[in-house]
Structure 1
C-alpha cells in the first residue's frame, strides 16, 4: 500500500499544489473540516502518510488507531503519527472541527529529539485527548489564529504558527489522554495489520546506505508498545504463522529483488537488509531457498 504524500493530499482535495510545498524547508497548512467532509461521509481512512496531522473534532465518533478503538464523544483533540494507519468513523453529523497538517522538518528546531519523542506522537501511545467546553474553546481559538495567520501577509507568520502549534501540544501534554478505550473483537487483526504496515514501510530498499532496522518480533513490539508475547500471539492466531516467518518472508522477497534488479554486491545487499556479516546473509538466504545469493543472481 502506497504512502499518501502531501502532493497526493492536495491533488485529491484541491487539484492544485501550494507554492510553499518544499519538503526541505518544511510544510504547514490548516483547514476547516467542513470543507472536506460531505454530508453523507461516514468513514475516512488513511493507511500511511508522510506528514503529521492534528485534528479538533466534535460529536460522536470512533477512531480505530493501531490496535486500539477509541470512542469519541463531545470535543476531542487527536494527534496522528504518519507511521500508524487509522480509520475514522463518524457517528454524528457534526463537521465543525478543524485540522492542521505539517512535516517534521517544519519543527526541526522546535522539538529536540523529533516529534516522535513527544507522548502524543509516540507509536503505541494514546493519541486522543478529551476536552471539556472551556478546553475546547481554547484549542478552537488556537486553530482560528493559525487560519488567520496563514492567510496573512505577515513576513514571520510561520514562526508565529509554530508557536501556536507548540502551545497546542504543550496544552495537551498538561491534560490526561482519554481512557475511554475498548478492544474490538478484531483487536488481534488490527495489531496484525499495524505490524504489516510497519514491516512494509521499510521497503523498498532504494540505496545501499538504507538499512532494514526492525528485524525481530521484539523490535516491532517495542515500536508498538506491546509485549512481544502479545504481538506473537495476535499474529499467529490471525495468520497461522509466526512473526518471524512474516519478517523472513519479506526479507527474502526484497533480497531476491535486489539480487535481480541491482548491481550491488552481495555484501552490500546483506548489509542493507540488516545482516552485519555477509556469511549471515548467505546462511539466511540458503536456508530459505536452498541456494546461495550469488547462485540465485546468476540463474
Structure 2
C-alpha cells in the first residue's frame, strides 16, 4: 500500500477523546520477579498503569471496596466491590482508579510456579473460560465475594509462612477460588474503549510484537515512531500526542524503554554474550549497545548482569 493512500487522522480530532488523570504509566514486571506474588490492597495500594502483554504472569484481582476502570485488550470494565477479574498474560491491560481507595487482593502466577507436580492446576488455569477478554470480570454475591476473599487471605498467609507444604496449600486455595468464580457465572458487561485508547493499545501491541529475540542469532529491526504510525494508518503527530497525553511519554521514549527492558531480560534470563545480545537487539555493535545501556542505567550491561545475579538479588 502506498503511503499516500493511508488515511491519516487530523491532530485536531484529539480533542474529541477525553482522558482522565493521573497518567497511566507503562509498567513492565521486574525481570527477577518471583513466580508467585500475592498482595493485599490495604498495604499495597493499586496504581494507575498500562501493562503490555508478554508479562508471562496470570493475574487474578478481587475487589472488596472502591471502584475503578479495568481495560483488557479492547474491552472496558467499570469495576465495583464484589467483583473478580482474570487477566491472561498475552493481553495488554490497564487500570484506572475512580475512588479514594481500593480494597481487596491480587495475585500473579507464573506458569513455572506449578512445576511437574502440579501440571493439572496449570492446565485448569489455562482452560479457565474467564481469562477471555470478553468474559474477564465476574460479578459475585456478597456471600461469594466473602468466600473468595477468604481464599485470598489463606493464600496470603501461606505465602508469608514457612510451612514446607505451603505451595500445596496455595494451589488448593487457588483451585477453590476458580471453582467458586466459575459457579458464580455472571460476567460483568463490558463497554467499548475510546478511539484514542484503541490507538494506544495497538501501538503497544505492535511494539511488543517487535521483540521476538528468543534464540541466538535472532535479529530484531526496531521500527521508528513514524513506521509505527504508518502501520496504524494515523499521523505520527496525532499518535504521539495521544500516547504522550495518556502515558506521559513520547513514542520514542516508549520504544527506548521497551528496548531497555528487553536488554535487561536477556542479560538476566539468558547466558548469551554481550555481543550476541547487542546483535539480537539490532545494535551496530557491542560498543553502541553498551553506550545505550549505560546512558539509560548508568552502569554497563556486564555490571548490571553481575549485580542482578549476585546472591543478594537471587
| Structure 1: unaligned runs, 5 residues or longer | 10-20, 22-26, 213-233, 241-254, 263-299
Contact (CA 8 Å) 2:83, 2:137: kept in 1 or not? Answer: yes
Distance 1:258 1:106, change over 3 A: same
2:176 & 2:235 partners in 1: Cα distance? 42
Task: Measure how far apart 1:183 and its partner are.
Answer: 0.9
Contact (CA 8 Å) 1:46, 1:87: kept in 2 or not? Answer: yes
Correspondence for 1:111 among 121, 125, 134: 121
Task: Measure how far apart 1:261 and its partner are.
Answer: 6.8
Aligned to 1:71: 78
SS at match of 1:110: helix
Aligned to 1:296: none
Task: Measure how far apart 1:256 and its partner are.
Answer: 9.7
Aligned to 1:164: 173
Task: Measure how far apart 1:235 and its partner are.
Answer: 4.4
Correspondence for 1:121 among 119, 124, 131: 131
Distance 1:110 1:195, change over 3 A: same
SS at match of 1:207: coil
Task: Measure how far apart 1:135 and its partner are.
Answer: 1.1
Distance 1:34 1:193, change over 3 A: farther
Task: Measure how far apart 1:258 and its partner are.
Answer: 7.0
2:139 & 2:186 partners in 1: Cα distance? 7
Count the aligned residue pairs: 205
Tell me the alpha carbon deviations over residues 176-229 of structure 1, each in whole angstroms, 9 at most, x when there is no partner: 3533211123264255246425523x4224336x899xxxxxxxxxxxxxxxxx
Contact (CA 8 Å) 1:60, 1:91: kept in 2 or not? Answer: yes
Distance 1:238 1:158, change over 3 A: farther
Asked if 1:36 corresponds to 2:44, the answer is yes
Report the TM-score, using the length of structure 1 for normalisation.
0.57
Tell me the alpha carbon deviations over residues 28-52 of structure 1, each in whole angstroms, 9 at most, x when there is no partner: 2322112222xxx762332342322
Q: Any residues of structure 2 matched to 1:41-52 within 5 Å, and which?
A: 43-48=48-53, 49-52=55-58
Runs of at least 4 residues of structure 1 off by over 6 A?
Answer: 237-240, 255-262
Distance 1:132 1:211, change over 3 A: farther
Distance 1:172 1:185, change over 3 A: same
Asked if 1:145 corresponds to 2:154, the answer is yes
Task: Measure how far apart 1:83 and its partner are.
Answer: 2.0
1:107 & 1:116 partners in 2: Cα distance? 12
2:219 & 2:187 partners in 1: Cα distance? 36
1:162 & 1:44 partners in 2: Cα distance? 28
RMSD across aligned positions (CA) = 3.5
1:103 & 1:257 partners in 2: Cα distance? 25
1:144 & 1:74 partners in 2: Cα distance? 17
Task: Measure how far apart 1:142 and its partner are.
Answer: 0.5
Correspondence for 1:4 among 29, 32, 36: 29
Q: Any residues of structure 2 matched to 1:272-291 within 5 Å, and which?
A: none
1:2 & 1:205 partners in 2: Cα distance? 21
Aligned to 1:291: none
2:60 & 2:128 partners in 1: Cα distance? 13
2:42 & 2:96 partners in 1: Cα distance? 15
Higher relative contact order (CA 8 A, sep 6+): 2
Q: Any residues of structure 2 matched to 1:244-263 within 5 Å, and which?
A: none
